[in-house]
Amino acid sequence: ILRMQDAITDAWSDGPGGWTHEWSKEARSAELEDRWLLAAALYGAARFPVACTESRREALRKQVECYVRASPSFPCAFERLEFSIRTTDGVQHVPARLFSPLHVSAADKLPVVLLSGGVDTYKMELHRLATLLVKLGGVRVVAIDMPGTGETGGVMSPRSHEVYEGILDNLAPLGSVKRGILGISFGGHWAAKLALRRGGAVFWGQFG
């Protein structure tokens, strides 16, 4: 951070001194040392706040690549999932990350928590929270990017709750009847909306 404080002179330029350029340079140094989780975090900084330029989209692509390479070191089981959710706005493609306790078989029924960030907090920035929930809560965690952000396709709309509902329905085979959603930042809006729509029949948590 101290190096970046001295090196960065502009938030949006793509050359030396630019935010994405300098953070990506730092991330590449971590890659050369095979520090994949650190590299993923640094590429996450490089694409911040949103992947809205070509250089930031490349930083997001590299973040995903490094994060997957880091996954063997995670303190829990890790799996990539792909959902295609049919909504009023069309079919929405949602890449997800599944975290499970070690030594748990696919047949073991556990509560499932759907974890979602907001506009500038993507699922990989929630890594520590996801692994902590698995470790302390004895649950499976499925982390996604909010519709219209990160790797989640489509655009965010007033009907984006349909994406979360569709994923929760798809998660039924993974666990018991206990399925909930934990939303961080703007993700808390969707957690609250689903809780209201379903009348509290399922336990929901949210951070706003």
180 neighbors 151 (Cβ within 8 angstroms): no
101 neighbors 76 (Cβ within 8 angstroms): yes
Asked if omega into 49 is within 30° of 0 (cis), the reply is yes
What number is the average pLDDT over the span 163-191? 87
Whole-number pLDDT of residue 205: 47
Whole-number pLDDT of residue 74: 97
Token pair recorded at residue 81: 């999932």
Whole-number pLDDT of residue 178: 83
pLDDT tens for each residue of 69-118:
999 999 999 999 999 999 998 899 999 999 999 988 777 788 999 999 99
Q: Which of 42-46, 54-58, 191-195, 201-205 comes out lowest in average pLDDT?
A: 201-205
Residue entry with tokens 């300098």: 22
The β-bridge relationship of strands 90-100 and 140-144 is antiparallel
pLDDT tens for each residue of 157-169:
999 999 999 999 9
